[in-house]
Each structure stands twice: as structure tokens, then as C-alpha cells.
Amino acid sequence: MEIIYILLGMLLFGGFLLLYMYRQAFEDRVLKQEIRLKDFPASFGTVRIFFISDIHKRIISDSIINEVKGKPDLVIIGGDLAEKGVSLERISANLEKLKTVGPVFFVWGNNDYEFNSHELDSLLYHSGVKVLDNTAVKFESEAGDILYLLGIDDFGLGKSRLDLAVRDAEEEGFRILVSHNPAIANSLKSEDEISLLLSGHTHGGQIRIFGFGPYELGGIKKKNGTTVLTSNGYGTTGVPFRLGAKAETHLITLAPELNPAD
């Protein structure tokens, strides 16, 4: 009889744990993060970015869209918008939602190539989404300061050409790099002049046991002189569960570094 109670207890615990992990996987969180950088051009004031990565099979919730609508200057999809088995209609619906928030930019992730890449590329083009595939986009303030948004194709699949993106940013200016895979940070050189890197891919380890996982938990840190933001991502891969690495999106405010006297 005692064994039966033990087994029932284990089944109940397992059921509650799976439910908890499922709920963490389908969190609708917008992390509001301010990043101050010493070389950010003051003439831009602040620049706000809505960053979402690793959507995979999820449908972006209306609550997230309503929370950020009208706030960001740019929307950036950090790769893995799609994966094998996701319908083109679902991807299109997610893009239409994001377009209501602001102008949308996209970099390719490894799982995007599981989908028909020609179909996805066509959808992005006809949706008015700017694909940053080893290229850069230039923004200029009224004072003439330059900000570049660089994006590279997937690093893990060997498709990234950071040299081409850097070459495309031909003038002096503040540089933001978007790479699905944060491992590109190990390849950055001082002459690349990348001030900020936005990435995803790792899912924060997705399932962390006693705080340990196959990847670091998402967050912001400095690496090789570059500020690196790695997102836990919005969706999941493999199984629809998370533990210790909740799903997340980001509303990032970029601003100049404060002087000690401020």
C-alpha cells in the first residue's frame, strides 16, 4: 500500500512539474531593459527596439503586441521565425502583428532553413520586412550622426559573413549587430566596432536542472568590449516545455552613458 502512495505522489509531482514547465514555455513577458553605452550618439536621444527571437511554432499573443505598440522605433526578429512543420499562414500572421508595432527587420536562424527558404524569403519581401543577410542599414540623426544596424546570416550553419556586413557599414558610426547565434561574439574584433550584439538561439538552455543547462541563461553581459544581449527566446524547440528559462521578449531602450555628474 505504501508503494502505491509513493507512486501516486510521484505521478502527481510529475504532472504538476509538466504543467509548470508548459506554463513557463508559454509565458508572455516583455522585459523592459535600458542599455546605456558610452559611444551612443547623443543626438539620437534614445532609440527603442522591440526584440523577439526564436518564435518557432508560437503565435505571438495580442497582449504582447498591445503592450509594446507605439513604443519602439524598430522591431527586430532575431532568427528562428519558422521551423519545419509551421504553416506559412501562421508565419504570415505573426509578421502582420509585428508590423503593427513598427518597421520590421529580420536575420536568418538555423531553424528557418528547415522551412522552404525560398517561400519564407518571398513572404518576408512581400510583407515589407527588411532582411539583414550580411548587410547593414544606415540611420542618420538630424545632427548628422550615423547609426548602423548590421545583420548576419546564421553563424552556426556557416552562412555568416560579418566582413560583408561591416563593409556595408561604410562610414564611421555607432554599430548594432544582430546575429541569431551569440557565438559570433567570440569572433568580434575591435576594428569591427560593434557596440551592441543582439542574439537568441540558446533558449537560455530551455530546461535547466538545479540551475544548470546546456547553454547560459539569457541576459546582458560584456564580451570582447561589446555589450551582448542574449534572449531566452519566445518559443521552444523539441518539446513545448521550459524550466528555469522563461519565454521572453524585449523592449530595449538605448541611450548615451550617464556622466558621473548627471
**Residue-level pLDDT at 3:** 81
- Report the pLDDT value the prediction gives residue 5, as an integer from 0 to 100: 63
- The answer to the question of residue 261 being in a domain is no
Structure confidence by residue, pLDDT tens digits, 79-111: 999 999 999 999 999 999 999 999 999 999 999
- Please indicate, yes or no, if residue 160 is contained in any of the structural domains: yes
Q: What is the percentage of the chain residues whose pLDDT exceeds 90?
A: 86
Range of the domain at 147: 2-256
Which pLDDT band holds residue 47 (cuts at 50, 70, 90)? very high
Residue 77, all three cell numbers: 526578429
**What's the total number of domains in the chain?**
1
Q: 10 Å Cβ neighbour count for 84?
A: 10
**pLDDT tens string 165-190:** 999 998 889 999 999 999 999 999 99
* Residue 90 within any structural domain of the chain: yes
Does 52 score more than 60 pLDDT?
yes
**Element spanning 130, H or E:** strand 130-131
Residue given cell 523577439 in the structure block: 52
Q: How far is CA 256 from the centre of its chain?
A: 22
Decide: pTM greater than 0.85.
yes
Q: At 152, which amino acid appears? A: I
What distance lies between CA 99 and its chain's CA centroid? Answer: 16
Average pLDDT for residues 233-238, to the nearest whole number? 95
CATH of the domain at 144: 3.60.21
Examine residue 193 and state whether it is found in any structural domain, yes or no.
Answer: yes
| Three-state SS at 143 | coil
Which strand (E) or helix (H) includes residue 245?
none
Q: What is the mean pLDDT of the chain?
A: 94
In a domain, 68, yes or no: yes
Task: Using pLDDT thresholds of 50, 70 and 90, give the confidence band for residue 51.
Answer: very high
- Residue 262 belongs to some domain of the structure: no
> CA–CA separation, 155 vs 151, rounded Å?
11
Residue with cell 560584456: 222
**Nearest 5°: CA angle at 126, between 124 and 127?**
60
- Dihedral sign for Cα atoms in the order 23, 197, 117, 156: negative
